Amino acid sequence: MAKNVYDFTEGGREMAGLLGGKGAGLAEMTKMGLPVPPGFTVTTEACRHYLRTGTEPGGLRREIEKHLAALEHTAGRRLGDVHEPLLLSVRSGGRNSMPGMMETVLDIGLTDATVRGLAETARQERFAYDSYRRLLQMYGTTVLGLDRGLFDGALHRMKADRGLTDDAGLDAADLTGLVEVYKALIRSATGADFPQDPREQLYEAIRAVFRSWNSERARLYRRREHIPDDLGTAVNIQMMVFGNYGPDSGTGVAFTRDPATGQRGVYGDYLSGAQGEDVVSGVRNAVPLTELRHLDPASYRALGDFTGLLETHYRDLCDIEFTIERGRLWLLQTRVGKRTAEAAFRIAAQLVDEGLIDEDEALARVTGEQLGRLLFPRFAATGDRPPLARGIPASPGAATGAAVFDSAEAVRRAAAGEKVVLVRRETTPDDLPGMVAAQAVLTSRGGKTSHAAVVARGMGKVCVCGAEQLKVEPALRRFTTSEGTVITEGSVISVDGTNGTVHVGALPLEDSPVAAYFEHGTGDGDLVKAVDRILRRADEVRRMEVRANADTPQDAARARRFGAQGIGLCRTEHMFLGERRRLVEAMILARTDPERRAALDALLPLQRADFTGILEAMDGLPVTIRLLDPPLHEFLPDRTELTAALAAAEARGETPDPHATALLAAVNRMHEANPMLGLRGVRLALVAPGLIAMQVRAIAEAVAERHAAGGDPRPEIMVPLVASELELHLVKTEIKRVLAEVAAETGAVTGCPIGTMIELPRAALTAGRIAEEAEFFSYGTNDLTQTVWGFSRDDVEAAFFPAYLEKGIFDTSPFETLDTQGVGRMIEIATAEGRAVRPDLETGVCGEHGGDPASVRFFHHAGLDYVSCSPFRVPVARLEAARASVMVIQAAPAGRFSGGVPGQG
Amino acid sequence: MAKNVYDFTEGGREMAGLLGGKGAGLAEMTKMGLPVPPGFTVTTEACRHYLRTGTEPGGLRREIEKHLAALEHTAGRRLGDVHEPLLLSVRSGGRNSMPGMMETVLDIGLTDATVRGLAETARQERFAYDSYRRLLQMYGTTVLGLDRGLFDGALHRMKADRGLTDDAGLDAADLTGLVEVYKALIRSATGADFPQDPREQLYEAIRAVFRSWNSERARLYRRREHIPDDLGTAVNIQMMVFGNYGPDSGTGVAFTRDPATGQRGVYGDYLSGAQGEDVVSGVRNAVPLTELRHLDPASYRALGDFTGLLETHYRDLCDIEFTIERGRLWLLQTRVGKRTAEAAFRIAAQLVDEGLIDEDEALARVTGEQLGRLLFPRFAATGDRPPLARGIPASPGAATGAAVFDSAEAVRRAAAGEKVVLVRRETTPDDLPGMVAAQAVLTSRGGKTSHAAVVARGMGKVCVCGAEQLKVEPALRRFTTSEGTVITEGSVISVDGTNGTVHVGALPLEDSPVAAYFEHGTGDGDLVKAVDRILRRADEVRRMEVRANADTPQDAARARRFGAQGIGLCRTEHMFLGERRRLVEAMILARTDPERRAALDALLPLQRADFTGILEAMDGLPVTIRLLDPPLHEFLPDRTELTAALAAAEARGETPDPHATALLAAVNRMHEANPMLGLRGVRLALVAPGLIAMQVRAIAEAVAERHAAGGDPRPEIMVPLVASELELHLVKTEIKRVLAEVAAETGAVTGCPIGTMIELPRAALTAGRIAEEAEFFSYGTNDLTQTVWGFSRDDVEAAFFPAYLEKGIFDTSPFETLDTQGVGRMIEIATAEGRAVRPDLETGVCGEHGGDPASVRFFHHAGLDYVSCSPFRVPVARLEAARASVMVIQAAPAGRFSGGVPGQG
C-alpha cells in the first residue's frame, strides 16, 4: 500500500513532486536541524486519488492519526485538549508555486471548549477569540463554500455599531460576540453547526484543500501557466506558532542577500506582535529586518546563523518566512528567492567567487530575460521621490513625454516633433496610431495580457498598464492620482516599463551600463564585471553561433560589438525606402523595358554601396543577404488615401494630376487582398527577374570591390518565400548566371553560397527536396508562425491576442516565444529531412525568435547551427545558447503552448 | 551482363518500362503474329547508362550487330548493300508518351552508293533522292546539332530558283542537286563529310536519340508533366517500309471504334501514296478509312481482321498506325486510343456487354474528369455549320453573349443585364472585373496555362484561349477570322469551352442529358444507360462516402438527387447576405448590448428557418453546419469606396451622412491587412460569442421543430479555423451550454456531434490533442492550401499562377488538384495522429478538392471516411471514390507536384 503521509523528518528537497514545494522545503529544513514547527505532509498522490475517485485513499486516516499522535508527542500538546490545545495549520502546496490559488485553514482545533483553554494558556482572551473568529471564517468559506461577503458584512456591521474603522479596535468581548454571529451565520446557511470536533475540522479542511486544486481560479491559473492539471496538491499539517502573542513575538521575511542589488548580508522585513497574514494585508508597517538586532538580539543572531546555513545548503539566495513566538524563532518556509536582474548577475558571480557554484552553474542562475532587461536604458536614480503611481511593468524600458489622452492628439503632437506618452483607461485597436506615435503607453486598467501590454510589447514600446490608482478622464484631458495630484494634457511624465513606476516631470534617462559596456567597451562596475565574466564563459561553452539581423553598416558594426559572429539576415527592402522609393516607383510605373532598365540602373550603384559597407563592417564573417521580399505595392502610396484624394479633387472640379492617376492605376492593378500571401519573395523574382538580377549584380560587384581593397567579404545569398524546390532551382540558375557574368567582367571570384528561407509550411514539409538545391536553410520564424497558425501579425496582435492570452490559449504571444508544437515541429521536420539529403546543410533562424530566451533553447535542442537576432539581443542569445548547452534538461513543467520546450519552463 | 537489346520477338506489352511504350507495342504485335516490319529495341537501361557515364554499356554494339544480322536475314536485305539496301528507322520511345519531344532519324542506310541502288530497286529516282535529302536533314539537325534553318533555307532557295512554292514540284534532278547542297552544308558547318558508312549513321543516330532525352524541351515537358528525369528513352531500330511508292501504297490511322461517339466499327483516315510524316504535315487531305474498301479490298479486310484481334487482345479501343507498301499491309504502332468522354462511357459499357471486361474494369476505363465534362450544358447539334474559329478548350461548358473587347464594357453591359463574352488578345489582372461580368472568355493567344485559362477555370467560367486564327483589335472593337469574317462589338457569339469552338450567333444551349438524368431521373439514351450502369457499380464498390457542400434547401435537395449521402459543409455566412446584411450591419454597429441583442434576436428566426429547411431536405442524413467563418467586416461596405465617397462629399461641401460616417469608423476599426489570417472562424466565436450562441440556438430549435414534425434531423456542428485544442474546448463548452439551454426549454434532445475543420497547419500538427475535443475532422483543403503554400487565392491565381504553370512549378493549380507533398502530407499526419487518440474519429474533406478526381483518389488512399463537394460534382466523386477502391495502385508516373498520388497519374 502506498505511503500517503510523510513526517517532516522523512522528506527532503528532492521530493517536491510528491510533497509539494512547501512540504519539501519544510522537510529539508527539519533534516538540517533547523527550528521548524513539527508537522507532516499528505502527498500529492493522495490528492490525485481523492480527485480521481472522490474518496480518500484507504488507510489515509490511520496514517494521519499515527503522524498526529507523533506531532502531539513532540509538541507536548493535544488536539482538542481543553486546557492547552494544539492548534494546526492546514496549508496547500503543489509542485509549482501557485500563489494564492489554493486554500489554507489556520487555527484548526479551536472549539467553544478549547478557545477558553487557549485564552487561559496564552493569557490573552482577545487573541484566542480573534483566532477562533478567523477559523470560523476560513472554514466557512473554504470548507463549507460560503460567500466571504457574509462574514465581512457581519464584521463591518459590528465595527459600525462600535463606531470603529479598524479591526484592531475590537476588544475581546466584541470578538466573542462576533464568534457567536459567525456560528449563527454558518448554522443558518448550512443547516448545521460549526463542528466542535477538531478531528472533523482537520479532515474536512484536508478535503477542502484537495478540492481547491480544481477550483475555477486554480484551473485558469494552471492553464495560463501551462501547469498540468493532473499533478494535485500536497497538504501540510503543522503545529501553529504565533507571532502575535505580544511584543516578544513577531513575524518576518528574510533574504540571504539583497534581492534588489545582490549585496551580501541579511535583508528583509520584520513586524513585531503580528501574524504572517497581517504582513501580507499591510495593516501595519514592517520595519527593516536589521531592527531585530535591537528588538531581539538572540533571535537576530540565530536567524543570521540559519540563513547562512540555508544559503550554503541551497547554494543560492534563499527567502525565508519566520515567526518568533515569545522569543523563540521558528522557520515556516524557505525557497530559492526571487531577485532583480541586476542581483541575479551579481549573486551568480559572487557564488562562483565563494566557491559555492562553478561557472557553468552560474550560467544556469541567470537568464537571458534578465540580461535583456539590463540592456534597456533606465532612469537615473530617482532619489527618494515617490512615484506618482505604480502599475504593472508590461513592456520594459524608460521614456518621458507629454501626457496625451487620445490617439489623435498623440499623432498630432508627435508629428510636430513632441515626445508624448499616451494615457488611456485601456487601449483598443482604435488607439493604434497613437501608440505608434507615442514614446510610452500608460493605462489604468488591464494586466500583462491587456491590449496595451500586448501591442506595446509587440512594438517594443515602453508600457505600464493597470495603474489602478489613477483616475483617467479623457474628456477632461487629465488624470488624477490617489493623492489627488492632477496631471493635465501636455504635462511631462516619466514612465518606467521595467519596474512599473510613473513619475511627474522628465526624469533624466541614462544608458544601461551593460549596454554601454558592449557599445563602447567601457565600465568596470560589479555588474559589468559579473555580466562580462558570465558571457565569456557562455562563449566558451555554447554550441550555436549567434549572428545578427542588420541592414546597415552601422547596425552591422554595432552587432559585431555586441558579439555577433556574422549577419544572419540582411533585409534589402529597407534599402529601398526614403529617397530611393522614387526610383522603385519609377521602375514599377515604367511602361517600356528601357524605362524599367533605366530605373534599375540608377538603383544599382546605390545598392552596391550598401553591400560594400556592410561587407566591410562584417569583414571575414558571413553576411546572409536576403533578396527583395515584400510585394512591390508596398513602395507605392496607400490605395484608400490616393483614391479619396483623387475623388475629392474630382468633386472640386479640378483637373486630375496625371501622375497621381497613373499611380492609382498601378496601385489598383497591384492591389492584393492578402499581401502577406501574395506576389512577393521568390515569386517576384520569378515573375519580374530584372530586380533580383540587379541585386545579385550589386552583391557581386561589392564583393569584387572588397577583394580589390584587400578585404575578406563573405556574402551568402538567401532566396525568400520558397515553397517548392523548383522555384529555388530556377532563381538559383538566374543568380549563378549573373554571378558568372560579373566574374567574367571583373575577373574576381564572386561565387557564394546560395540558400533559402524556410518560412512556409510547404518548404518545411518538402525540405528534403529543397535541400538538394539549398546550401543553407534559414528559418523565418515570423512568417512561419503566421502561416502555421494562420495569423496575420499586423491584425491579430491588437484584435484578439489579449483575449487569447487572457483565456490561456497561449501564455506568451507565439510571435515572442516560439510555438514548439506547431512551428517548432515544422523546424524539426525540415532540419531532419534537409540534413538527410545534405549532411553539411547549414541551418539557422532569422526570425525575431532568434533573440528570445526560451526559443533560443529550443533551437539549441533542435540542433540548429546558429540564431540571428537584432544586434541588441545578441548578448541574450549568446547567454541562452550557452545555458541550453550546459543545463540538464529538466522534467519541465510542460513548456509554452503545452509543448516540450526543454530547459527552464 | 545486362541484356541491352530485345528483338521485337522477345518483348511484350508488359515491358514498357524497359522497352518504352512504342517498343512494347511493336513487340506485342509481333508476338501476336501481326505484320510488323522486323526490328529490335535498345533498352531504356542502356540509355540511362549512356546518360550517366557518357559511354554506351559494354557489349552494346556486339548485341546490336547480332540483332542487325538477324534483321537483315529476316528482311532479305543488307544495310549498305549497294543494290538493294536495307533502310532503317531509328525512333525514340520512353515509358510515357512525350509526343514530339525526342528525336527520330529515318532512312538510315542511304549513302551516295546505296541511294542509287534504292533508286533502281524502287524504280523511282525521285523517291530515292527525296529520302536521302530527308536523311541528310534529320541527321544534320539531330545527330550533328545543326540549325534546321540551314536546310530549310537551302530548300527555299532551290524552290525560288525553280519558281516553285511546293516541294512536290521538285523533280529527281532538283533533289539530286539538293542532296549535294545539303552535303556541302554539313561539310562546311562541321568540317567533316556526311558519313558514308551506314553503321556510323546508325550508331550516331542511336546516341543522338539517347541524348535527346535531356534536350531542353524534353526536360521542360517532363517537368510540366512530372515525368521523372531519370527514366531514359528506349531506341527502336526497324526496317523502313514506304507508303509513298505509288498508288498501291499508302499510310493511315485506324481506330477500332469511333473515338468521338464510341460507335462500333472501323474508323480512321487513309492517305494513298504517302508517308506518315505527310499525314502529320497535312500536305494533302486524307480520306475516310472506309474508302480503303474500294482502293485495296484485301488490305481493308486484313486491317479489319487485325484491328479486331488487337481490340480483343487489348480489350479496349486501340489506335493503330499502318502503312501499305505495294499492297502489303504493315502495322507500325498500336496503343490504347484516346476518346471523348461520351465515347469512354459507351465503350466501357459495350465492352462489359461483350464480355471483354468486367464491371470493375469498366470503372477503370472511365474517369471522373470525363464524367464531369458530360455534366456541363452544351450546344445542341450545330449541324454542319463550320465554327468561326477553333482554340484551346481551356474551361469547359458552353455560353453565348455579345462580344465585348474590354473589361469596362463587359462590366457596363452586364450591369445592364446583357450577357457578354469578353474577347481579348490575352487577359491580365486588369481584366478581372470583365471576366467576372462575362459569360465566357475568348482569347487569341496563350495556352491552357495562360492567365485567361487559369483564372476562368478558377471561376468556373467558359473559356477558349489561343484561337490564333483570330485577329483581335480592341481599339477597333472587333475581331476578324482567318476567312475575313469581321465580328464587331455587340454581335452575339457562342463559345464552347469543352471542344474549343467559337460560332457566330446564339447557338441553342441544351442541358447535358446526363445532368438531366440526375436532376429529373429522365432520359434513356445509350449514354445515360452507360453512365447509370457504371455509377451503380461505383456505389457498390466504393469505401468513401460522398457528401455535398450545400447552403440552401434547394442545393441540399439537388445534392440528394445527385447521390449525396449528406451535407459535408453547410456555410452559414451565405445566409447573412442580401436583405439580412442590414441586420448583420446593425449588430456590428450596435453601441450597447441591448442593441446588439436586438439585432441577433432578429436574425435568430431567419437562421432557424434556414436550418429547418436544410435538415428537412437532408432528413435522415448528416448535415455538417459550419459556424460563421469570415471576418465581420466582409458584411460592411468597401473601405476605399466609402472613404472616397465621403471625401468627395466633403469636397463638395456637403454635410456628411452620419450613418456613412459611423459605417466608415467601423470599417476602419475592423480593417485588416490580411483578412484571410485575421479575426475570423473560431477566433470570432471566442471574442464575440453572442453570434455563435445565436447560431447554435437556431440549430437546436430547428432540430426540435423537425423532431416535432416527425423528422430525423442529423446536424453536426463544425468549428472553423481552429489552431489549438483549447480554442475548440472553449467554444465547445459554449455550444454545449446553448444546446442544453434549448433542450431544457423545448424538452427535445438537441445534442449533436461537435467537430472541427482542420484547415491550418497547426491544427494538423496538433491533431492528436485536437482529437481529444473533436468528434470529427473535416479537412478544409482550400484554406489549408492557402496556408501551407502561403498563397492568397484571391491574389495569386491571376498574379502569377500562369507563370508558375508555364515554368512547371506545378502542372495544375494546387487549388484544383490537391498538392499531395505538402497539403496531403498534413492530412496524412493529422489523420494518423487524430485516430491514434480517437479511433472512431470521422474524417472528411470539404474543400473544393472533394470533387477533383485525382484528389478524391488521394483521399481514398489516405483513409478518409468521406469527401464533400458541390452538388454538381457528386457523381464525379462517387465515380472516383470507386475507381480508387478497385484500381490497383500503379507504379505511377510520380504524381502531381512530383508527389505520390496513387492511381492514374
Q: Kindly state the cell numbers that stand for A512.
A: 544601461
- Looking at the fold, whether B222 and B263 belong to one and the same domain comes out as no
- Looking at the fold, whether B489 and B394 belong to one and the same domain comes out as yes
- Looking at the fold, whether A234 and A254 belong to one and the same domain comes out as no
pLDDT band at B900 (very low <50, low <70, confident <90, very high): very low
User: Is the per-residue pLDDT at B280 higher than 60?
Assistant: no
The alpha-carbon gap from B791 to the nearest alpha carbon of chain A, in Å, equals: 5
* pLDDT attached to residue B431: 85
Residue B509 host element (H or E): strand B509-510
Instruction: Specify the pTM.
Output: 0.85
Residue type, B560: R
Contacts with A812 from chain B: Cβ below 8 Å: none
- Looking at the fold, whether B147 and B90 belong to one and the same domain comes out as yes
The verdict on whether residue B766 carries a ligand-binding annotation is no
Active-site entry in B318, B465, B846, B869: B846
The CATH number linked to B198 is 3.30.1490.20
State the best of B674, B731, B828 to mutate against chain A, taking most chain A CBs within 10 Å: B674
- Domain contains A666: no
Mean residue pLDDT across chain B: 90
**Which residues of A participate in the annotated binding site for Mg(2+)?**
759, 783
Contacts with B724 from chain A: Cβ below 8 Å: 809-810, 897
Query: 10 Å Cβ neighbour count for B806?
Result: 17
* pLDDT attached to residue A897: 37
- Looking at the fold, whether A235 and A280 belong to one and the same domain comes out as no
CA nearest to B646 within chain A: A644
The alpha-carbon gap from B671 to the nearest alpha carbon of chain A, in Å, equals: 8
What mean pLDDT comes out for the span B119-141? 89
User: Is the per-residue pLDDT at B82 higher than 50?
Assistant: yes
pLDDT band at B580 (very low <50, low <70, confident <90, very high): confident
User: Is the per-residue pLDDT at B895 higher than 50?
Assistant: no
- Domain contains A703: no
Contact state of A676 with B678 under an 8 Å Cβ cutoff: no
Higher pLDDT, A655 or B778: B778
- Tell me which residue of A132, A240, A235, A237 sits closest to A186, measured CA to CA: A132
- Domain contains B143: yes
Residue type, A194: F
CA angle B733, B738, B743 (to 5 degrees): 125
CA of B589: how far to CAs of A481, B134, B559, B665, B691, in Å? 35, 79, 37, 9, 14
- Domain contains B667: no
User: Is the per-residue pLDDT at B590 higher than 60?
Assistant: yes
- Domain contains B74: yes
Contacts with B640 from chain A: Cβ below 8 Å: 639-640, 643-644
- Residue A707 a catalytic site member: no
**Which are the contacts of A277, defined by CB distance < 8 A and separation ≥ 6?**
A106
Biggest CA-to-CA distance, chain A:
106
Domain range for A180 is 5-239
pLDDT tens digits, B389-399: 999 888 889 99
Active-site entry in A451, A503, A633, A849: A451
**CA–CA separation, B298 and B301 (whole Å):** 5
Higher pLDDT, A384 or B852: B852
Which residue is it, cell 472512431?
A: B840
- Looking at the fold, whether A222 and A263 belong to one and the same domain comes out as no
The partner residue sitting opposite B723, judged by closest CB among A686, A726, A789, is A789
Contact state of A673 with B792 under an 8 Å Cβ cutoff: yes
The CATH number linked to A281 is 3.30.470.20
- Looking at the fold, whether A223 and A265 belong to one and the same domain comes out as no
**Which are the contacts of B899, defined by CB distance < 8 A and separation ≥ 6?**
B819, B820, B821, B824
pLDDT tens digits, B516-574: 999 888 877 899 999 999 999 999 999 999 999 999 999 999 999 999 999 999 999 87
- Tell me which residue of B833, B793, B864 sits closest to A822, measured CA to CA: B833
Contacts with B648 from chain A: Cβ below 8 Å: 644, 647-648, 650-651
pLDDT tens digits, B657-667: 999 999 999 99
Boundary (domain end) residue, out of B510, B534, B558: B510
The verdict on whether residue B123 carries a ligand-binding annotation is no
- Domain contains A51: yes
Contact state of A724 with B648 under an 8 Å Cβ cutoff: no
- Looking at the fold, whether B263 and B224 belong to one and the same domain comes out as no
CA nearest to B428 within chain A: A669
The CATH number linked to A464 is 3.50.30.10
ipTM associated with this complex: 0.84
CA of A785: how far to CAs of A704, A782, A791, in Å? 38, 5, 7
Higher pLDDT, B894 or B444: B444
User: Is the per-residue pLDDT at B195 higher than 90?
Assistant: yes
Sheet holding A486-488, edge to edge: A471-473, A478-480, A486-488
CA nearest to A768 within chain B: B821
Active-site entry in B49, B67, B226, B451: B451
**CA–CA separation, B728 and B564 (whole Å):** 28
User: Is the per-residue pLDDT at B723 higher than 60?
Assistant: yes
Pairing of strands B378-379, B509-510: antiparallel
The partner residue sitting opposite B795, judged by closest CB among A673, A766, A796, is A673
**CA–CA separation, A583 and A569 (whole Å):** 24
What length is written for chain B? 905
**Contact status, residue A760 vs residue A722, Cβ threshold 8 Å:** yes
- Looking at the fold, whether B174 and B46 belong to one and the same domain comes out as yes
pLDDT block averages, 10 residues each, chain A of length 905: 91 93 95 97 96 93 96 95 94 85 89 93 85 93 91 90 80 93 95 96 96 87 78 96 85 89 86 72 71 94 94 93 94 89 94 94 94 90 80 90 95 94 88 90 86 81 91 94 92 93 92 90 88 96 96 94 97 84 88 91 94 97 96 90 93 91 90 94 92 95 95 97 96 96 87 95 98 98 97 87 86 92 98 98 95 96 96 95 82 34 31
Give the DSSP per-residue string, A315-353. TS-EEEEEEEETTEEEEEEEEEPP--HHHHHHHHHHHHH
- Looking at the fold, whether B313 and B393 belong to one and the same domain comes out as no
**CA–CA separation, A239 and B237 (whole Å):** 103
Boundary (domain end) residue, out of A486, A510, A534: A510
3-state secondary structure A572-584: CHHHHCHHHHHHH
Boundary (domain end) residue, out of A204, A239, A274: A239
- Domain contains B301: yes
What mean pLDDT comes out for the span B576-598? 87
- Domain contains B633: no
> How many domains does chain A contain in total?
3
- Residue B869 a catalytic site member: no
The alpha-carbon gap from A896 to the nearest alpha carbon of chain B, in Å, equals: 13
- Looking at the fold, whether A392 and A503 belong to one and the same domain comes out as yes
- Looking at the fold, whether B190 and B301 belong to one and the same domain comes out as no
The alpha-carbon gap from B654 to the nearest alpha carbon of chain A, in Å, equals: 11
Which DSSP letter does residue A498 get?
Answer: T
Higher pLDDT, A708 or B380: A708
